[in-house]
C-alpha cells in the first residue's frame, strides 16, 4: 500500500511540474500572439493570410491606406481577384497552387512585381512575396511592399 502511495505522490509531483511548464508556455504564446498581432496591424506593408487555395482570410489595415479598399471587401476573395493582379491572374493562381502542393518542397515564391492604382489614382509598384505559413501547407502569408530605389 505504501508503494502505491509513493508512486501516486511521485506522479502528482510530475503532473504539477508539467502543469507549471505548460502555464509558462501558455503565457509566452499569448504574449507572442499579441506581439505578432500588433506587427500585423501596424505594418506599412500589405500583409495577407491566405488559405492554400488562394482565398484571402485576413488582411491588415495597410490595404485601406494604400488602395482605399475596405478589408471586408477583400477578405473572402481570391488573391487574383484583386485589381493589381488582374494582368497576372494566371501566374499568381499557378504559383499559389504550386506552392501549396504538399509534394513541392518550395517554401516561398520569388518576388512578383505588380503595378497598382492607389486610392489617389497614383500608380505604385509593389513587390509581393509569398511564404508558406505552416508545416501542413494550409496557410500562405502574402506581403506586398514598395521596392526601395
pLDDT in tens, 31-81: 999 999 999 889 999 999 999 889 999 999 998 888 887 888 889 999 888
Question: Measured between alpha carbons, how far apart are the two ends of the chain, in Å?
Answer: 78
- Quick one: which of 146, 11, 141 has its CA closest to 67? 146
Over residues 86-125, the pLDDT tens digits come to: 777 888 888 888 888 777 777 777 688 888 888 788 888 8
As a whole number of angstroms, the distance between CA 83 and CA 140 comes to 20
Q: Report pLDDT for 134.
A: 79
> For the whole model, what pTM was predicted?
0.75
Asked if 121 and 107 count as a contact pair (C-beta separation under 8 A), the reply is no
Sign of CA dihedral 36, 47, 45, 100: positive
| Comparison of pLDDT for 126 and 103, the residue scoring more | 126
Quick one: pLDDT band at residue 1, thresholds 50, 70, 90? low
Q: Which residues pair with 131 in a beta bridge?
A: 108, 141
Strands 123-132 and 56-59, bridge-based pairing:
unpaired
Mean of the pLDDT values across residues 23-36? 94
22: pLDDT strictly greater than 80: yes
DSSP 71-100: HHHHTTSBGGGSGGGGGGHHHHHHHHHHHH
Angle ∠(141,109,29) on CA atoms, nearest 5: 30
* Domain layout of the chain by residue ranges: 1-42, 43-145
63's grid cell: 490595404
Superfamily of domain 43-145: PAS domain (3.30.450.20)
Q: What is the rounded CA–CA span in Å between residue 125 and residue 147? A: 7
Amino acid at each position: 500500500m505504501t508503494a502505491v502511495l509513493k508512486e501516486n505522490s511521485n506522479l502528482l509531483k510530475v503532473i504539477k511540474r508539467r502543469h507549471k511548464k505548460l502555464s509558462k508556455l501558455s503565457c509566452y504564446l499569448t504574449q507572442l500572439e499579441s506581439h505578432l498581432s500588433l506587427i500585423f496591424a501596424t505594418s506599412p506593408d500589405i500583409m495577407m493570410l491566405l488559405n492554400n487555395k488562394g482565398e484571402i482570410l485576413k488582411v491588415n489595415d495597410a490595404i485601406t491606406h494604400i488602395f482605399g479598399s475596405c478589408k471586408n471587401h477583400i477578405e473572402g476573395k481570391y488573391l487574383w481577384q484583386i485589381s493589381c493582379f488582374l494582368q497576372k491572374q494566371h501566374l499568381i493562381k499557378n504559383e499559389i497552387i504550386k506552392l501549396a502542393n504538399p509534394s513541392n518542397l518550395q517554401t516561398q515564391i520569388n518576388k512578383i512585381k505588380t503595378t497598382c492604382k492607389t486610392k489617389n489614382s497614383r500608380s505604385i509598384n509593389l513587390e509581393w512575396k509569398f511564404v508558406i505559413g505552416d508545416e501542413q501547407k494550409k496557410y500562405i502569408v502574402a506581403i506586398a511592399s514598395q521596392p526601395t530605389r
